[in-house]
């Protein structure tokens, strides 16, 4: 371990490299937190600028065939009211998002096989006519399915690795394969998507070494977007008694990811604001450059219950865009007007 972790941070800011042991030391040591966050903010400013990209999130189904231990949408959860938004209504929500000024929509759902390839192609192709970028976050699919979505007009795909520890992954995601998760990321890269991934911070049994491995994995696969969020225990899951993740540790992962991957997109996630009232603006000042406000309407906002305490479930989409725009302006930044594709600079 280096004697002075300030040198580690300085070198990472300049060279975008950090050894695993030093990452773990920074996770453990709070003394250097502000230096880490300020360095990440400087790298963010240098490589992706002061504009914040807003992505309109459409949570179109909370039905999921998976049984992930940490997720409120898990198949075995009988306490949640399930819903599906019809294809034409999804397209209508996207049209409204464009009206609010969004240049990207993120279509997110549980792994719900109701939405066939043809149905998804219909939705994607009609939204694409609005001249916006489309991100999908709908789980593990075959190469052929990913290819069909891409041909229909999808630009980006978000599928979190959750953890790069195979044993922890398979304990947290019963019946799922860590290798298949990585296969999905590889297929998406081959097909030319902008690929988003990420991890949960604070899963039971997760080590600091594992979190360092997560960041190194993101760099190794050259992810275009990395979403980091603290694990928040849900009372309707087997992990209801777990301690949960730390806001500060999640913020450190964001900052280190920015130092190592200076030109990627990093969202300030909603879960961070669930733990800290100013979570998203703090993240925007610590390396993040994207926010994904919810544009889903009505009761659906409450029913997409990944974790308890989720913010803004009672707000309208119009209120959300005005609220986050105000917060962005308050910290001296501005809302971007472009689609926000990654511009590789190194």
329 Cβ neighbours under 8 A, 6+ residues apart: none
140 is in an annotated binding site: no
Helices (H) and strands (E) in the chain, counts: 14, 9
Closest CA to 290 of 319, 313, 311, 270: 270
Q: 263, 344, 342, 261: which is closest to 45 by C-alpha?
A: 263
Find the radius of gyration of the CA atoms of the chain. 19
Neighbours of 228 (CB within 10 A): 32
- CA 288 to chain CA centroid, Å, is 11
What is the DSSP pairing of strand 225-230 with strand 290-291?
unpaired
Query: Residue 312 annotated as binding?
Result: no
Which residues, in sequence order, are CB contacts of 80 under 8 Å at separation 6+?
Answer: 62, 72, 73, 236, 303, 305
Q: Which two three-digit tokens encode residue 259?
A: 């130092």
Q: Is 184 annotated as a binding residue?
A: no
Which backbone phi and psi does 287 adopt, to 5 degrees? 130, -15
Q: φ and ψ at 210, to 5 degrees?
A: -65, -40
Nearest CA to 229 out of 169, 277, 160 is that of 160
Q: Annotation-wise, does 68 bind a ligand?
A: yes
8 Å CB contact between 33 and 222: no
What is the torsional sign of CA 215, 221, 222, 223? Answer: negative
Q: How many residues does the chain have?
A: 346
User: Residues within the annotated binding site for S-adenosyl-L-methionine?
Assistant: 162, 181
Question: Binding site for (3R)-3-methyl-D-ornithine, residues?
Answer: 137
Binding residues for [4Fe-4S] cluster: 64, 68, 71
Annotated binding site: 64, 68, 71, 137, 162, 181
């Amino acid at each position: 371990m280096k004697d002075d972790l300030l040198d580690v941070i300085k070198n990472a800011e300049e060279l975008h490299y950090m050894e695993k042991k030093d990452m773990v030391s920074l996770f453990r040591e709070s003394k250097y937190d502000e230096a880490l966050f300020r360095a990440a903010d400087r790298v963010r400013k240098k490589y992706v600028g002061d504009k914040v990209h807003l992505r309109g999130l459409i949570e179109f189904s909370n039905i999921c065939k998976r049984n992930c231990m940490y997720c409120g949408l898990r198949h075995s959860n009988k306490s949640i009211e399930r819903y599906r938004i019809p294809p034409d209504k999804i397209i209508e929500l996207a049209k409204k998002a464009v009206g609010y000024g969004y240049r990207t929509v993120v279509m997110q759902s549980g792994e719900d096989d109701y939405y066939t390839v043809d149905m998804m192609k219909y939705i994607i192709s009609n939204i694409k006519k609005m001249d916006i970028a489309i991100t999908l976050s709908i789980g593990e699919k075959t190469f052929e399915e990913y290819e069909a979505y891409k041909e229909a007009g999808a630009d980006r795909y978000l599928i979190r690795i959750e953890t790069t520890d195979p044993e922890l992954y398979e304990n947290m995601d019963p019946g799922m394969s860590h290798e298949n998760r990585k296969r999905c990321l590889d297929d998406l890269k081959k097909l030319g998507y902008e690929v988003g991934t990420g991890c949960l911070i604070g899963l039971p049994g997760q080590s600091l070494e594992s979190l360092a491995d997560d960041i190194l994995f993101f760099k190794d696969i050259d992810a275009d977007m990395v979403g980091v969020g603290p694990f928040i225990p849900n009372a309707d899951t087997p992990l209801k008694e777990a301690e949960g993740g730390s806001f500060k540790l999640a913020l450190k992962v964001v900052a280190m990811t920015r130092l190592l991957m200076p030109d990627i997109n990093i969202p300030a996630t909603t879960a961070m604001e669930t733990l800290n009232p100013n979570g998203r603006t703090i993240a925007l000042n610590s390396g993040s450059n994207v926010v994904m406000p919810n544009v889903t309407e009505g009761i659906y906002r409450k029913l997409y219950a990944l974790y308890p305490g989720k913010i803004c479930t009672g707000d309208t989409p119009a209120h959300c865009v005005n609220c986050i725009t105000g917060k962005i302006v308050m910290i001296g930044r501005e809302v971007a007007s472009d689609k926000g594709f990654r511009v590789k600079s190194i």
